[in-house]
Amino acid sequence: LVSDDTGNRLRFQLELEFVQCLANPNYLNFLAQRGYFKDKAFVNYLKYLLYWKEPEYAKYLKYPQCLHMLELLQYEHFRKELVNAQCAKFIDEQQILHWQHYSRKRMRLQQALAEQQQQNTSVK
């Protein structure tokens, strides 16, 4: 017999892991090709999972892009397109480009901050 606390913790962990899997376009393609997105109960489950967008839950996510995918999965047209491997490949490429842009931008900001701190130190 599982206590409520243990059951709630397990459910939290399972849903956290599943929601984060939605960040992987190849996994979405896998689900689409096996007909999961045609199953009304599964689509309702995806709707239920929108609670992860709330800050008290979102703070646990390591891959925040999963929330964008979860939002897109609310649309039947998007779910249908995911059957196509080219669609998944395109999403994957766009995520990589976004990550590269973000990484370069973050590095430039960190360099500028370091230079500013160095100038402030040398002025004193």
CB 81, CB 91: distance < 8 Å? no
pLDDT tens digits, residue range 23-51?
999 999 999 999 999 999 999 999 999 99
Half-sphere exposure of 102 (CA within 13 A, CB side): 7
pLDDT tens digits, residue range 58-95?
999 999 999 999 999 999 999 999 998 887 887 877 77
CATH topology assigned to domain 4-123:
Arc Repressor Mutant, subunit A (1.10.10)
Predicted pLDDT of residue 29 = 96
Predicted pLDDT of residue 2 = 58
What burial class does residue 96 get, using C-beta atoms within 10 Å of its C-beta: 0-12 exposed, 13-18 middle, 19+ buried? exposed
40: nearest Cα among 51, 48, 30: 48
Say if pTM beats, i.e. exceeds, 0.95.
no
pLDDT higher than 80, residue 113: yes
CA distance 35 to 30: 9
